[in-house]
Amino acid sequence: MPVAFLLSLAASLVPVPAESLSQTVSATVEFRVLATNRTSTMEREMNEAADAGYRYEAVMGGETGFGGNEVVTVMSKRAGETARYQYKLLATNRTSTMQRELQQAADGGFQYRGQTVFQSTFGGNEVACILERDTQDTSSKPYQYLLLATTRTSTMQRELQEIGEQGYEVIGLTVAKTAMGGSEMVTIARRLAK
């Protein structure tokens, strides 16, 4: 038998103290599910959860069993985590408004974390973006955001190729009916600010 195999077998038979095993098992995770049909309510509830140590995990808009058309967000908290995040939720049915608001938030230290489409009570179909700011990270890099919206996949291919050559990376994509363009593919891209 090869010596390396025997050494590896012998190492695997060495007993490991129980306290070492407990350190390798991940701590339990608490989840909080937030659901509402108003974006202002969702932003407030996300920040309340963040104040309790929770962090954003996922978002989806759609029809829920009892709530109708809602945006649903999942937040998580691991043992020992403290409050360090702030959230901003941007929602609009006008892509030009989203582009401007996204960059303003980024200039304030927020970073893109997710997006969805949902039908709000007053705004119709809206693209919603979740932005996060880490209040303890002073070294976060500023990003320049770009939003592309088109009805044709061939146009999206061409536009993505062009912005890729400028150093942008795609970070989100939804298909939504917007106020101006009908059904559009809405792509969010970013690059490090120059």
Residue 6, domain member (yes or no): no
Residue 60, domain member (yes or no): yes
Counting every residue written for the chain, the total comes to 194
How many whole angstroms separate alpha carbon 7 and alpha carbon 9? 5
Q: What integer pLDDT is reported at residue 177 of this predicted model?
A: 66
Q: What integer pLDDT is reported at residue 181 of this predicted model?
A: 54
Name the band, by pLDDT with cuts 50, 70 and 90, for residue 78: very high
**What is each CA distance from 5 to 9, 15, 16, 26, in whole angstroms?**
6, 18, 20, 30
Name the band, by pLDDT with cuts 50, 70 and 90, for residue 6: very low
Contacts of 51 (CB under 8 A, 6+ apart): 83
Report how many domains make up the chain.
Answer: 1
Task: Read off the pLDDT of residues 140-192 as tens digits, 9 standing for 90 and up.
Answer: 788 999 999 888 889 999 999 999 999 999 999 988 765 555 678 889 999 99
Is 80 exceeded by the pLDDT of residue 63?
Answer: no
Nearest to 115 by CA among 82, 149, 76, 66: 149
Q: What integer pLDDT is reported at residue 3 of this predicted model?
A: 44
Residue 163, domain member (yes or no): yes
Q: Tokens at residue 34, please?
A: 């937030």
Is 60 exceeded by the pLDDT of residue 17?
Answer: no
Residue 14, domain member (yes or no): no
Cβ atoms within 10 Å, residue 144: 16
147 contacts 188 by C-beta, under 8 angstroms: yes
Residue 64, domain member (yes or no): yes
Q: Which structural domain range is residue 87 located in?
A: 28-192
Q: What integer pLDDT is reported at residue 194 of this predicted model?
A: 81
The pTM of this model reads 0.78
Interval 94-111 mean pLDDT:
90
How many whole angstroms separate alpha carbon 71 and alpha carbon 60? 6
pLDDT higher at 66 or 178: 66
How many whole angstroms separate alpha carbon 93 and alpha carbon 10? 63
Q: What integer pLDDT is reported at residue 121 of this predicted model?
A: 60
Q: Which of 3-7, 84-88, 122-126 shows the lowest mean pLDDT across its residues?
A: 3-7
Residue 116, domain member (yes or no): yes
Q: What integer pLDDT is reported at residue 138 of this predicted model?
A: 81
Q: Tokens at residue 37, please?
A: 């049909």
pLDDT higher at 150 or 14: 150
Residue 1, domain member (yes or no): no
Residue 15, domain member (yes or no): no
